[in-house]
């Protein structure tokens, strides 16, 4: 058996943590032979709840779980971490201004970045789920200057999966025979789910589904899916988010299918005209366990306008964070 990997999960006592941890324990994330040390990072008020989750994890008697530690101290939780999955965040509550939301979350993600910078393993990868995910990723990266920039991602695979599922439902093709969908921009309502390069059973998607739908209802359905889940279920997406986290990590470790790509929020190097330093969702492939942005895709006027609109929101968020002195 290989040496255990160390996973640090923030927000481990929350809903997504509760779903994800048992799938880590069963080998879905790192594979059926890879033992894992689990480091749960929680807010002080939720440490007791995390202990309860750890008791259940113990009761799963999972051979792959090497050990479990619970802490509210980032420096302890990220010690020796190979992968950090950052779920814990402060949600926006009624009456809360956006500046307050950004400030509270910077208070969470800034210190976590500092701890990652000083105590995580050299090969550390950081995946941010807690919203606003793109800007939180920028904050954590700003506080971890010694970690290479390509190690940070914001989760947009859930949006990517939602786009695949809508295309499958519309076309009648199995979801596994649809490829090259892209989520561009922010993990928010301004995101741009793009089918212009997508293939459905080997045919260009726009020859299979009608353009009017692909440029209207499809985009709105994918971008507003989170809200639709809340309206129907009375709670936000949890199990599908855990699935998307697994899809993201699995593809990063093992690569995407030949001829396909995934989507992930990445620190922009200026690709596709997105200002450097913003965390923007791009089409990505994985090579040697590192994400790379797919280059050279044609961006037509429709796509350009959509990408620019989402990037404008990312710029606004960055300005707000800078204005507050958070980066």
Give catalytic residue positions. 187
Residue 173 CA, chain-centre distance (Å), reads: 26
Smallest distance, ligand NAX to C-beta of residue 49, A: 7
User: 166 labelled as ligand-binding?
Assistant: no
Contacting residues for 233 by C-beta, under 8 A, at least 6 apart: none
Distance CA 240, CA 176 (A): 17
User: 162 labelled as ligand-binding?
Assistant: yes
Q: Which is nearer to ligand NAX, 248 or 318 (CB)?
A: 248
Q: Which is nearer to ligand NAX, 13 or 173 (CB)?
A: 13
User: 105 labelled as ligand-binding?
Assistant: yes
Distance CA 268, CA 170 (A): 32
User: 131 labelled as ligand-binding?
Assistant: yes
DSSP state of 125: E
CB-closest chain residue to ligand NAX = 14
Q: Which is nearer to ligand NAX, 37 or 248 (CB)?
A: 248
Backbone φ and ψ of 58, nearest 5°? -60, -40
Smallest distance, ligand NAX to C-beta of residue 212, A: 27
Smallest distance, ligand NAX to C-beta of residue 11, A: 3
Interface with ligand NAX (CB under 6 A): 10-11, 13-16, 41-43, 46, 87-91, 108, 129-131, 133, 155, 158, 187, 236-238, 241
Smallest distance, ligand NAX to C-beta of residue 12, A: 7
Residue pair 83/42 in contact by the 8 Å Cβ criterion:
no
Residue pair 199/179 in contact by the 8 Å Cβ criterion:
yes
The b-or-e profile of 240-264 (16+ CB within 10 A means b, else e) is bbbbbbbbbbbbbeeebeeebbbbb
Q: Which is nearer to ligand NAX, 131 or 286 (CB)?
A: 131
> Is there a cis peptide before residue 132, judged by omega within 30 degrees of 0?
yes
Q: Which two tokens stand for residue 234?
A: 């009375």
User: 235 labelled as ligand-binding?
Assistant: no
Cite the annotated binding site for substrate by residue number. Answer: 92, 98, 131, 162
Cite the annotated binding site for NAD(+) by residue number. Answer: 11-17, 105, 112, 129-131
């Amino acid at each position: 058996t290989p040496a255990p990997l160390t996973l640090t999960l923030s927000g481990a006592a929350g809903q997504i943590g509760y779903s994800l941890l048992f799938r880590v324990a069963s080998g879905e994330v790192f594979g059926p032979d890879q033992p894992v040390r689990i480091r749960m990072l929680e807010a002080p008020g939720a440490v007791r709840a995390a202990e309860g989750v750890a008791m259940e994890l113990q009761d799963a008697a999972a051979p792959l779980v090497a050990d479990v530690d619970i802490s509210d101290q980032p420096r302890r939780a990220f010690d020796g971490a190979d992968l950090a999955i950052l779920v814990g965040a402060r949600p926006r509550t009624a009456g809360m201004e956006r500046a307050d939301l950004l400030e509270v979350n910077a208070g969470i993600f800034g210190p976590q970045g500092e701890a990652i910078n000083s105590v995580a393993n050299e090969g550390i990868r950081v995946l941010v789920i807690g919203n606003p995910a793109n800007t939180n990723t920028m904050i954590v990266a700003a506080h971890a200057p010694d970690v290479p920039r390509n190690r940070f991602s914001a989760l947009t695979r859930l949006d990517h999966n939602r786009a695949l599922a809508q295309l499958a439902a519309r076309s009648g093709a199995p979801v596994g025979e649809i490829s090259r969908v892209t989520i561009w921009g922010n993990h928010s309502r301004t995101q741009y789910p793009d089918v212009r390069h997508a293939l459905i059973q080997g045919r260009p998607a726009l020859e299979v589904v009608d353009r009017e739908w692909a440029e209207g209802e499809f985009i709105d359905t994918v971008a507003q899916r989170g809200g639709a889940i809340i309206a129907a279920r009375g709670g936000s997406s949890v199990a599908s988010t855990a699935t998307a986290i697994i899809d993201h990590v699995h593809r990063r470790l093992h690569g995407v299918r030949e001829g396909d790509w995934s989507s992930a929020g990445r620190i922009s190097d200026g690709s596709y005209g997105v200002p450097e330093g913003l965390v923007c969702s791009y089409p990505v492939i994985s090579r040697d366990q590192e994400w790379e942005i797919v280059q050279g895709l044609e961006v037509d006027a429709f796509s350009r306008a959509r990408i620019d609109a989402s990037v404008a929101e990312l710029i606004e968020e960055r300005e707000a964070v800078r204005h507050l002195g958070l980066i």
